[in-house]
Structure 1
């Protein structure tokens, strides 16, 4: 039997066909501004122009850089469009001019740029899409931080949230991506030389975004995203050219997860191999419907997800073939399997999984993981589905075996009773291979019994009425057993298939629970739908209807494979499904000519979106078990998306509430804490100006003193605001050195005593105590705490400061005997702009002192807490600082 030749993947061919009529897109990708993307693009464009290619510079952003302006050279420039906006004239890219000019190659700098109001499209990448549809090749530049999927990661790393983003599919659909890369040290040197930003901007950038660690992280992101893009190109080429693979262009590790005690060890070993190779990890579990119930692979698959692997579960009868098929489809290069403990006869016959893979997986590197020493031995042998012809051979062998037994007991057992022996092969064949094989076993058994044992022997004739009755009864019982046992066997196999389906749903639910954001969630839904339907799948979310429209607009958010996108005719079916909440497209009563079928994901709040399926050309939409599994998937996916939407709405609501509260507090503080000193300063100055000569020297001195004090108060308030901003932006970097706590407390107490004219009781504690802290930050904390204590205690009250040692920590306590803090205000006393309210008054101050203290203490690795009353049954407040002693 000749092997069927490999055929190109239709999806890959269709993706190539869709690109034929569109203009090419080349992206010059960089890790950060200043790496030379625009310079490289212009240099290549000048080389092509010199060779006679029609190149047009649509827009080049020089940002005032002389080098970039000079690099344009003799490239023809497209005049910019002039757009009036609010009394000004803005210059922007002229899309209509470019379409009318139709150059061979058009240069468009800064793909993530937002167009000026009045432009046809709000974003420049949308201009690029229209140019490509018109058949114009576009070259553009972009930094990796502008990719939509990386915006959160970039914000966490750099502390700067990028406002302008580009959808990931734009880069994925590019025909070429060229990485422009330089080391971070060289980029920083360019910044210092003023070749990227102006000197004043460069200084701020070097202290913020352009730190070496930030640039290294962005560089890794750019390298990884470019590697993923190249890998997608290699995979697409292999599928379009029917190359089975694997191609060792890049390493990929696949862990084969079984339902045995070694599964978790296999996952951990595969993770180590993947880390050593810097390669992605895939965890594959092959479920065999005919296998005996065993252990649950769920914990091992959950461990694989926690370790960052992509988990896959497939159902197949032939284990080695399924493994190799999936490995080739995913271009894996390394297979990690457990050695296991197969039964002795499989080892002797060379029919273990590892032996089969060693024979067949000649294109892969195979890693064998030994069985754990404490793992129990398998009690039941492995089972494997036999080929169909072997079922017929086994049926004949079972009847022959029963015949041999009958010949052995012939003469001891009556002829009529010998027929009972043949019931055993009938039941065995029906249960093991189905009702048809059971019926054939019944016919063969009847013929053998009649020919060999019923008189007259060695003929098919029946001698007497008694034998006729026996034969009829035997035939009825045999056929009944064959049908019943066969149905029972089919039911068992169907039940196993349903168990596999339920297990996959449970695994999918777990994947939904571990998805990082809505993008990951929708990608997981598309992958599971594609696996169930056996073809491309996508997820569409619904945008609110535009003014004048009554139906929401479905928008593609995820697809498997990555280029799966419904055509315009299919999108009409998607819009109908979104408007009516019912399935539409292929295989339905609505727009059945469409290539895609769309099914709604319904929740109590309405439609959460649509799942689109494109069935294979030779088959129809999912039915039977696949249809039920898909409906279950839609229900779970709708709930997960609704939960994600609610969590996002709650996060936005909380952020708005916090912002509003902070804004109110800031405005209130501004209204009081700025107006009061400014009023005093203005009054003193006005009095001195109008009545200065008539005032006594003492009065003039008093007015000047008031102005000076209020100016100092205003300066302290502004300094507190700036300190709080530095703390919130995590710009505080302590300079750690050994600090003598006794000297630090004495110095701060002496300064506070002079300022308030009151003594402070100081207990320096045992010496020496010298934790590694920042002396300047600690002095600021102590000054704020002592100032608060003196301010909120009675004029004759006492303020105490002491230090001590408690286990591995040093403890500093500042205590006063004032009215204390109300119990309901105690949990919020360290919040910015919060001021405790009592029945008789509102505490004076800006509400920033304790918030700054908390930020500075945390920056030094310590803790701060407030207790009130300081002494049970009395009043006062105690603030406790704790720092590591070492």
Structure 2
């Protein structure tokens, strides 16, 4: 059947309409500070101002740069607001002034900026959202590292965690993105010239964030994100204008996953093609209800997900048409399929899938993957299903075949027995094509039998009563066979459809189990509901009712597509469904005029939420397998949401318990480690004040030395507290230099010997690499480890420091012969405020020294571990620090 004319995608048109109701957003995107985003934005703004546009500078961060200040030129500037905060008056962007002024274009620099405390919104991007809702066009700047999804990747590359982030949807919803790009070498030269930061700050940046490798990686991220945005714009334009794909603007690869063992080979080959093209990968499996059941394609689909592909499952009778429809909808350019080994007659008839795609997929690049040598033959061939007219054409062919058999046995077999031959085409037509085809075959068979074999021959009349009885029996048997076998065929096809639904339900269960958090879970529920219903879907959770309200308030939490959102009339149906725990909206008896239908997700403990489906005009409730599949989805989704809520509650409880433990440890440590030195200091001062003149010089010196020692101990404890706070908040930024480990160890040992008055053995090792570390952080680590070793080994104990090479790493071992660490405490000695239990007591100290050592070593890219016992008598401890070599 010919396809109708292409129509624009309703969702794409709706997105365009919504964009018209909001102010435009233009983002000047860069890879790093200093590429010229603000300068380009100001230059474009001056050109627009000269052309007569109403341009207003809302806020531009000059950072003291004279050239940026000069670039503002004659652009009108919005006065900044004054906000009182902790006795100070701070300047901030005047959001209300901008809304009152309503310029044609508002410049809002640094979209990721955090607003002054007391502002209406905590983040500047939220100011931009409110301005857009008011119809104001906003121009802004941002760096790629401020995107929320890239913060972890940027931290791994640069070693710096970006605190100020912008949700990815803000960039995705921007009307225009302009990439401001310069090579890393030019950006570094700008930094050296002092055009980005002041000289001191520039030198630190060049040693850390602004290294050429870091900038190259950030530049690649910016280019890729911009390319993805352009690709999304192209796809949206094609859908809104009903343009059939693919457009070769960017490569996309689709792997066709069948129900055979060779599918995993196809997926791997498609992954290699996608990697070579640096293109996204989609894995498509099309279920054919009319085909015989085959092997489970789930292993190949799971492999595709592990390899980073997007998996899609659909059902269709016409396999090539379904493949091309999905490929065009996703703007795919490359199709990867298995060659397979179809039978000879299918190859001669041109009914293989590869042959059909070669004829029809003229807009795509087709990759055929050969089977591995010795591979087993697939259970099902790549046959194209027969078109609808083939069933009607097959009926006369089957009857003609039965007639030929009858003519061959005419004279040797009685005329009545020849009628049994015609039961074969009746059964074949009914099973293969349905009861209607079987009934037509029965009528045609009766006419052929009567005309050719029943006397008088070559007429449609019946000669005697015996023939009348035979004809009646034949007709009854034929109709019974047609109806029974046709019903059996329908049952088989229905069973296959149910198997497909069950398989999809199992796949959905696996997706629910793999969801990372509650947000991922709700998105998975919305995607599956959208697939079952064949239209937009959303998930709403219920907020507890406010005082004076009887029913909970449903709130949108996930939608597919992302811009799908119920209107106010539909939300009334959602509130009714939440209050009454029954379906409401289009296709139901309650508020049927609403555009959406809402179904509750019920559990034994109450209502977990609602699933909304946007029904087309004139559409009603789902029927058949789709309705049953949606009910199963609601049951599983409700259980999954309840499980996620319980897991979150458990995590909150564990966090509260851990916080309570840390609070108790901190208070205990404060009570001991502050009170003891303060008592000693106060006692020494009181003695000197009351009896100073009467004391001998030696006694006064001892008292002053004791006060000085306790003061130093108190300062060290406070420094440890501040150090652990810096580590926990990730404020440690190592300044890497080439370090001579032997010299660093010798310095630390000499200082500890002077302070403690005890000997420490040093084995510097031979031919050690000189790693790039922070000398100050390394010295603090060694000081803490030596202090611990001296304290726990006792006055008569022995302490040693050994350096050695371990492959590509250098190891520093600090050993003592003290009582050691219980085996049960080895994995906890690096936790803050943890103090290992000795045989008779809890070890003295604040429990912060080793925690600080671990944080500092990790900040320098190394590892630290504790080993105990190290001596044959069950005593001894070894603290082992490993750092990368040169």
Measured against the shorter chain, the TM-score band is 0.7 to 0.9
CA contact (8 A) 1:261 1:372 kept: no
CA contact (8 A) 2:768 2:804 kept: no
More deviation, 652-661/425-434: 652-661
Q: Describe the SS at the equivalent of 1:79.
A: coil
Question: Which residue pairs with 1:311 in the alignment?
Answer: 311
Question: Which residue pairs with 2:497 in the alignment?
Answer: 497
Deviations 1:11-47 (CA, angstroms, capped at 9, x unpaired): 2223223333433222223344444333322221111
Question: Which residue pairs with 1:449 in the alignment?
Answer: 449
Deviations 1:234-267 (CA, angstroms, capped at 9, x unpaired): 1111112121011111111111111222211111
How many Å apart are 1:153 and its aligned residue?
5.0
Quote the Cα distance in structure 2 between the aligned partners of 1:798 and 1:90: 59
Question: Which residue pairs with 1:421 in the alignment?
Answer: 421
Q: If the length of structure 1 is used for normalisation, what is the TM-score?
A: 0.87
Question: Which residue pairs with 2:631 in the alignment?
Answer: 631
Question: Which residue pairs with 2:395 in the alignment?
Answer: 395
How many Å apart are 1:883 and its aligned residue?
6.5
Question: Which residue pairs with 1:281 in the alignment?
Answer: 281
Quote the Cα distance in structure 2 between the aligned partners of 1:489 and 1:359: 32
How many Å apart are 1:329 and its aligned residue?
0.5
Question: Which residue pairs with 1:510 in the alignment?
Answer: 510
CA change 1:513–1:420 in 2 (3 A) is same
CA contact (8 A) 1:541 1:557 kept: yes
Deviations 1:698-734 (CA, angstroms, capped at 9, x unpaired): 2233234324433543455456557656776475688
Question: Which residue pairs with 1:865 in the alignment?
Answer: 866
More deviation, 389-398/749-758: 749-758
Q: If the length of structure 2 is used for normalisation, what is the TM-score?
A: 0.87
CA contact (8 A) 1:39 1:71 kept: yes
CA change 1:752–1:561 in 2 (3 A) is closer
CA contact (8 A) 1:802 1:813 kept: yes
How many Å apart are 1:406 and its aligned residue?
0.8
How many Å apart are 1:376 and its aligned residue?
1.0
How many Å apart are 1:817 and its aligned residue?
5.5
Question: Which residue pairs with 2:831 in the alignment?
Answer: 831
Deviations 1:772-795 (CA, angstroms, capped at 9, x unpaired): 889989987777566545534565
More deviation, 700-709/185-194: 185-194
Deviations 1:553-609 (CA, angstroms, capped at 9, x unpaired): 444443333432333333333343344433222212232222222223334554443
Quote the Cα distance in structure 2 between the aligned partners of 1:403 and 1:54: 88
How many Å apart are 1:671 and its aligned residue?
4.3
How many Å apart are 1:547 and its aligned residue?
6.0
More deviation, 296-305/205-214: 205-214
Question: Which residue pairs with 2:705 in the alignment?
Answer: 705
Deviations 1:727-749 (CA, angstroms, capped at 9, x unpaired): 76475688788978xx9999988
Question: Which residue pairs with 1:613 in the alignment?
Answer: 613
CA change 1:112–1:798 in 2 (3 A) is closer
CA contact (8 A) 1:745 1:764 kept: no
Question: Which residue pairs with 2:817 in the alignment?
Answer: 816
CA change 1:52–1:755 in 2 (3 A) is closer
Question: Which residue pairs with 2:251 in the alignment?
Answer: 251
Question: Which residue pairs with 1:107 in the alignment?
Answer: 107
Q: Describe the SS at the equivalent of 1:411.
A: coil
Deviations 1:157-203 (CA, angstroms, capped at 9, x unpaired): 66666565544433333221222334455555555655555667667
How many Å apart are 1:322 and its aligned residue?
1.1
More deviation, 25-34/426-435: 25-34
How many Å apart are 1:357 and its aligned residue?
1.6
Q: Describe the SS at the equivalent of 1:311.
A: strand
CA contact (8 A) 1:422 1:445 kept: yes
How many Å apart are 1:440 and its aligned residue?
1.3
Q: Does 1:330 align with 2:342?
A: no
Q: Describe the SS at the equivalent of 1:565.
A: coil
Question: Which residue pairs with 1:260 in the alignment?
Answer: 260
CA change 1:752–1:800 in 2 (3 A) is same
Deviations 1:860-881 (CA, angstroms, capped at 9, x unpaired): 8666334359656xx6444374
Question: Which residue pairs with 1:435 in the alignment?
Answer: 435
Q: Describe the SS at the equivalent of 1:490.
A: helix
CA change 1:93–1:517 in 2 (3 A) is same
Q: Describe the SS at the equivalent of 2:422.
A: helix
Quote the Cα distance in structure 1 between the aligned partners of 2:727 and 2:120: 43
CA contact (8 A) 1:57 1:75 kept: yes
Kindly report which structure 2 residues correspond to 1:355-394, keeping only aligned pairs within 5 A, or say none. Answer: 355-378=355-378, 381-394=381-394
CA contact (8 A) 1:540 1:556 kept: yes
Deviations 1:737-777 (CA, angstroms, capped at 9, x unpaired): 8978xx999998898677656677x7979x97968889989
Structure 2 stretches lacking a partner, 5+ long: none
CA contact (8 A) 2:30 2:143 kept: yes
Kindly report which structure 2 residues correspond to 1:685-696, keeping only aligned pairs within 5 A, or say none. Answer: 695-696=695-696
How many Å apart are 1:313 and its aligned residue?
0.8
How many Å apart are 1:296 and its aligned residue?
1.6
Q: Describe the SS at the equivalent of 1:830.
A: coil
Q: Describe the SS at the equivalent of 2:107.
A: strand
CA contact (8 A) 2:518 2:644 kept: yes
Deviations 1:397-454 (CA, angstroms, capped at 9, x unpaired): 1111111101111111111211111111111111101011111111122222222222
CA change 1:867–1:586 in 2 (3 A) is same
CA contact (8 A) 2:352 2:383 kept: no
CA contact (8 A) 1:105 1:138 kept: yes
CA contact (8 A) 1:600 1:607 kept: yes
Q: Describe the SS at the equivalent of 2:255.
A: strand
Q: Describe the SS at the equivalent of 1:286.
A: strand
Question: Which residue pairs with 2:344 in the alignment?
Answer: 344
Q: How many residues align?
A: 879
How many Å apart are 1:108 and its aligned residue?
2.9
CA contact (8 A) 2:261 2:378 kept: no
Deviations 1:680-715 (CA, angstroms, capped at 9, x unpaired): 456546655776555432223323432443354345
CA change 1:651–1:275 in 2 (3 A) is farther
CA contact (8 A) 2:351 2:384 kept: no
Question: Which residue pairs with 1:879 in the alignment?
Answer: 878
Quote the Cα distance in structure 2 between the aligned partners of 1:59 and 1:853: 43
Deviations 1:377-405 (CA, angstroms, capped at 9, x unpaired): 23554554322221111112111111110
CA contact (8 A) 1:574 1:610 kept: yes
Q: Does 1:468 align with 2:468?
A: yes
Deviations 1:267-320 (CA, angstroms, capped at 9, x unpaired): 111111111211111111111111222222111110110011100011111111
How many Å apart are 1:628 and its aligned residue?
1.4
Q: Describe the SS at the equivalent of 1:525.
A: helix
CA contact (8 A) 1:815 1:870 kept: no
Quote the Cα distance in structure 2 between the aligned partners of 1:643 and 1:652: 14
Quote the Cα distance in structure 1 between the aligned partners of 2:598 and 2:8: 27
Question: Which residue pairs with 1:38 in the alignment?
Answer: 38
Kindly report which structure 2 residues correspond to 1:296-307, keeping only aligned pairs within 5 A, or say none. Answer: 296-307=296-307
CA contact (8 A) 2:862 2:884 kept: no
Question: Which residue pairs with 2:230 in the alignment?
Answer: 230
CA change 1:488–1:352 in 2 (3 A) is same
How many Å apart are 1:369 and its aligned residue?
1.3
Question: Which residue pairs with 2:407 in the alignment?
Answer: 407
Question: Which residue pairs with 2:596 in the alignment?
Answer: 596
CA change 1:792–1:863 in 2 (3 A) is closer
Q: Describe the SS at the equivalent of 1:56.
A: strand
Quote the Cα distance in structure 1 between the aligned partners of 2:121 and 2:879: 58
Structure 1 stretches lacking a partner, 5+ long: none
CA change 1:575–1:126 in 2 (3 A) is farther
More deviation, 172-181/152-161: 152-161
